[in-house]
Amino acid sequence: MKESANGTKQNEWPLWEVFYQPNNGKPFEHAGSVHAPDAEMALQNARDTYSRRNEGINLWVVPSDQIVASTPEDQGPFFDPANDKAYRHPQFYSVPRAAKKRK
Amino acid sequence: MDEQKKLDEFQRRIDNGEKIEPKDWMPDRYRKQLIRMMSQHAHSEVVGMLPEGNWIERAPSLKRKKVLLAKVQDEAGHGLYIYSAVETLGVTRRELVEEYIYGKAKYSSIFNYPTLTYADICAIGWLVDGAAIVNQTMLAKSSYGPYSRSMVRICKEESFHKKQGYEMLAKMANGTPEQKKMAQDAVNRWWWPTLMMFGPPDDESPNSAELIKWGVKSKTNDELRQSFVDRTVMEAKKIGIELPDPDLKYNKETGHWDYGEIPWDEFWEVIRGNGPMNRERIRARRKAYEEGAWVREAASEYARKKKLRDEKAS
């Protein structure tokens, strides 16, 4: 516990990342973060902060320190394996002329 | 990469319209400017609950009470969106909040004015939230990703704030002579402080050039102020409200409305802490923070004990 500016002892509630599902069948999106002492309050705070107008029909909260992220500096080498594999895209292949015409 | 190369690459990304994300390299000064500007913005949202909260229990009808409650709750939400975005720059929430409650952090000068009648609630919605929309629509294009995203979220909600104020003011302006007088009086008092919300004139705004260069802002204070004046003049006319500026005149050459001298001495006085409500606002925020401390501690303690219990049980 750290001493705060007015001399009282307080520790800060942990930070949680909030994700919401905008609609049925849609993938979850990141909304922002909230502070909360436990998972239950994190969910309630997330609802009050990020879904006051039904922006989400489902919510996830994840302790922020549990998120593992790639680093922008390594972006090049990290994603490099995808760069030289044009054959993973349909444009790589040519379609026989006869098949093309028949639309 | 040496510092200059990094800086050039950073500027290239900004000029390209790319967004900067929390873990990207950024100049220290960019980070500092963002922390300063975004935390002021967050504090303003939070302190903005006070002048309006003042009227929740005295709202003229249940409908207006519900509307005002929802609006004030939104302001709390807006504060939280922005605090969450500032925290991505490596400052803690507690540092931010305490820098404001016990330190020197600033918030918008507009919230240091009192709300004397319910018509002030109408005028705030129309003018203050209207001005905020002009500013925040620009900030939604800001170069810092988390700030930009929080602004997109806020802008969606802000138009309700403005509309409910404008609707109520229109009703009062077309009501009894007393109601009309109340509405006009509120607009008279809020007009000039609202124009000051955009900040000092361009030639006295030290941070503007840098913020524009880095894509945090894309328009100057005076440009934003002018676009607010232009749209507000029309809205006032439509509901029979006069804006308290005898120099307000359409300028055919520029296509804009010219306005009179803004009382900047008053602005600087309020910034210095001598506005009508500065002391009261800080007192109220300190009281809420300190008297709420036991709640925050109790919740932490409850969470700690529950975790221990759960660990034992498993």
pLDDT tens digits along A2-54: 444 444 445 789 999 999 999 999 999 999 999 999 999 999 999 999 999 98
- Find chain B residues with C-beta within 8 A of A37's C-beta: 296, 299-300, 302-303
Block residue for tokens 């705070």: A45
Give me the total of CB pairs closer than 8 Å, taking one residue from chain A and one from chain B.
68
A35 touches chain B (CB under 8 A): yes
pLDDT (average), residues B262-281? 95
* pLDDT tens, position by position, B24-67: 999 999 999 999 999 999 999 999 999 999 999 999 999 999 99
* pLDDT tens, position by position, B225-238: 999 999 999 999 99
- Of B191, B170, B38, the residue nearest B128 (C-alpha): B191
Listed by number, the residues of chain A in 51-80 with a beta carbon closer than 8 Å to a beta carbon of chain B are 52-53, 69, 71-73
Residue B205 is predicted with a pLDDT of 87
Classify the C-alpha dihedral B80-B85-B88-B91 as positive or negative. negative
Contact between A52 and B77 using a beta-carbon 8 Å cutoff: yes
Contact between A38 and B81 using a beta-carbon 8 Å cutoff: no
Contact between A5 and B303 using a beta-carbon 8 Å cutoff: no
Structure tokens at B21: 């994300």
Residue B98: count other Cβ atoms within 10 Å of its Cβ.
17
The confidence band for B103, taking pLDDT boundaries of 50, 70 and 90, is: confident
Rounded to a whole number of angstroms, the distance from the CA of B22 to the nearest CA of chain A is 10
Listed by number, the residues of chain A in 3-22 with a beta carbon closer than 8 Å to a beta carbon of chain B are 4-6, 8, 10-13, 15
Classify the C-alpha dihedral B45-B50-B51-B54 as positive or negative. positive
- Of B156, B185, B153, the residue nearest B82 (C-alpha): B153
Which chain B residue lies closest to A37 (C-alpha atoms)? Answer: B300
Residue B50: phi and psi, rounded to 5, are -70, -55
Contact between B303 and A37 using a beta-carbon 8 Å cutoff: yes
What ipTM did this prediction achieve? 0.90
